[in-house]
Amino acid sequence: MKILTGKDKGKEGEIIQIDRKSFRAKIKGLNKVKKHIKTTKEKKGGIIDKENFIHISNLKLIEKNKKKKEAIKK
């Protein structure tokens, strides 16, 4: 998938998760946000980076075969 808008515009990645109710998807390694985690007995707290959902209308499907054909033509 290729991102069409936002801070990661033009970057490509693989879909990790889809939320069908709200029409959103998570892309591996893109649209990262910082999440503050509170310390508990089991887990250490701190700030972690994680992928956030992006609306499907801001994504474009890219075919793998099309990429290979374009590379061969050049």
What is the reported pLDDT for 68?
Answer: 59
pTM: 0.70
| Contact (CB, 8 A) for 3 and 9 | yes
Would you place residue 71 in the very low, low, confident or very high pLDDT band (cuts 50, 70, 90)?
A: low
Angle at 8 between CA 46 and CA 73, to 5 degrees: 135
Other CB atoms within 10 Å distance of the CB of residue 8: 18
CB 62 within 8 A of CB 12: yes
- Which residues have C-beta within 8 Å of that of residue 19, sequence separation ≥ 6? 25, 53
For residues 6-35, average pLDDT: 92
